[in-house]
Amino acid sequence: MKAFEEGVLQQRAAQAVESLRSCRVCPRDCEIDRFNNKIGVCKSGRRARVASAFPHFGEEDCLRGWNGSGTIFFGWCNLRC
């Protein structure tokens, strides 16, 4: 909400979409052009599949602060964990 209130949310969203042109979202850094729906290691094109998203309170205080941190898990991930 703070980013919205400060007027930077729309700018950050635009930067996120632009970053798809040379994708480095995951540690594989494949730099595939997901903006134009090219398929990378993750098998995800321009639209990622969100498997789950929820607040996470299990990290140390210095990482999560007082309100917790957000956790988002994506489908199609192939980090081979």
The answer to the question of residue 22 being in a domain is: yes
Distance CA 43, CA 22 (A): 15
The answer to the question of residue 79 being in a domain is: no
The residues with which 55 forms a beta bridge, in sequence order, are 70
* Residues of the domain holding 55: 2-74
The answer to the question of residue 81 being in a domain is: no
More confident residue, 4 or 11: 11
Q: Are 78 and 25 in contact (CB under 8 A)?
A: no
The answer to the question of residue 80 being in a domain is: no
Q: Are 31 and 22 in contact (CB under 8 A)?
A: yes
Q: How many domains does the chain have?
A: 1
The answer to the question of residue 52 being in a domain is: yes
Instruction: For residue 68, give the 3-state DSSP assignment.
Output: coil
The answer to the question of residue 50 being in a domain is: yes
Does this model's pTM top 0.75? My answer is no
Backbone angles phi, psi at 53, to 5 degrees: -150, 135
Report pLDDT digits (tens) over 40-70.
888 888 888 888 998 888 878 777 777 778 8
Distance CA 39, CA 45 (A): 5
